[in-house]
Amino acid sequence: MNKNKLTTKTKIAVWWLIVIGVVLTIWHLAASFMSLIYSLDAGPVDEKEINLVFVLLLGSIFYILSGISLSRKSKRAWAVAVTILSIITICSMGIYLYISDYAYYSRIPCIKIPIILLLGFFIYLTPLILVILDRKNYFEMVRQLELSKKEIG
């Protein structure tokens, strides 16, 4: 067994971060363009909405970067990825709660608030949980990789 390969949980987390990050980036770009088109047709859009979409877009880009960071196979990359994922999860969940609260008090019937919140928790918490649960195996793989580099060099 080659100890230099990523473990299964980490592979799933990296795949999840990159694929879902690209999907979220496209989704948030489409939302920002739609709000731009809407503002040209119906007048200016509330600045809070633009800021929320921008923060979510920035978060999805950092989501991709944390997946790439995990695949670099170092302890520092793991720490960076977990830090980024924690910050993104907290900020995104706050934004989703704000949006659901706004939709509830505005009496917008088309938004299914519990579904949006559950989907948000599922999207953002899944890779963070996988990475944290696989910490010991990831660090062992990094240690084996460092030992093999020392033996070669």
What's the pLDDT at 91? 80
Q: Are residues 67 and 18 in contact, defined by beta-carbon separation less than 8 angstroms?
A: yes
Q: Are residues 145 and 4 in contact, defined by beta-carbon separation less than 8 angstroms?
A: yes
Predicted confidence band of residue 44 (pLDDT cuts 50, 70, 90): low
For the chain, the straight-line distance linking the first and the last C-alpha, in angstroms and rounded, comes to: 22
Burial of 86 (0-12, 13-18, 19+ CB in 10 A): middle
Instruction: Tell me the two tokens of residue 17.
Output: 């971060």
Q: What is the pLDDT of residues 114-152, one digit of tens each?
A: 676 777 778 888 888 999 998 898 888 888 888 888 887
Predicted confidence band of residue 15 (pLDDT cuts 50, 70, 90): very high
Q: What is the pLDDT of residues 77-100, one digit of tens each?
A: 889 889 988 888 888 777 777 766
